[in-house]
Amino acid sequence: MNHKSGAILVLSGPSGAGKSSLLNEVINDIGECYFSISTTTRPARDGEINGVHYHFVGEEEFKKDIEEDLFLEYAFVHGNYYGTSIKPVKEALIAGKLVLFDIDVQGNAVVTNRLGDITTSVFITPPTLSELKKRLESRKTDSQEVIKRRVDMAKKEIQRISEYDFLIVNDNLQEAADVLRVIANAARVKIPGNEINDFVRSWEDI
pTM, to two decimals:
0.81
**200: pLDDT confidence band, cut at 50, 70 and 90?**
confident
Strand order in the sheet with 55-56: 55-56, 39-40, 80-85, 71-77
Quick one: pLDDT at residue 205?
A: 74
Dist. CA 111–CA 108, nearest whole Å: 5
3-class SS of residue 101: strand
Quick one: pLDDT at residue 80?
A: 93
Instruction: Provide the residue ranges of all domains of the chain, joining segments of one domain with +.
Output: 7-200
Sign of CA dihedral 88, 91, 97, 98: positive
The predicted-structure confidence for 42-97, as pLDDT tens digits, reads as follows 999 888 998 888 889 999 999 999 999 989 888 888 889 998 888 888 889 989 99
**199: pLDDT confidence band, cut at 50, 70 and 90?**
confident
Which is higher by pLDDT, 52 or 12? 12
- Quickly count helices (H) and strands (E) in the chain: 8, 9
Q: Are 15 and 126 in contact, with CB atoms under 8 Å apart?
A: no
Contacts of 178 (CB under 8 A, 6+ apart): none
Strands (E), 55-193: 55-56, 71-77, 80-85, 98-102, 119-125, 166-169
Task: Quickly name the fold that domain 7-200 has.
Answer: Rossmann fold (3.40.50)
Task: Provide the percentage of residues in the chain whose pLDDT is more than 70.
Answer: 97
Residue in 98, 136, 80, 102 with CA at minimum distance from that of residue 13: 102
**pLDDT over 70 (residue 4):** no
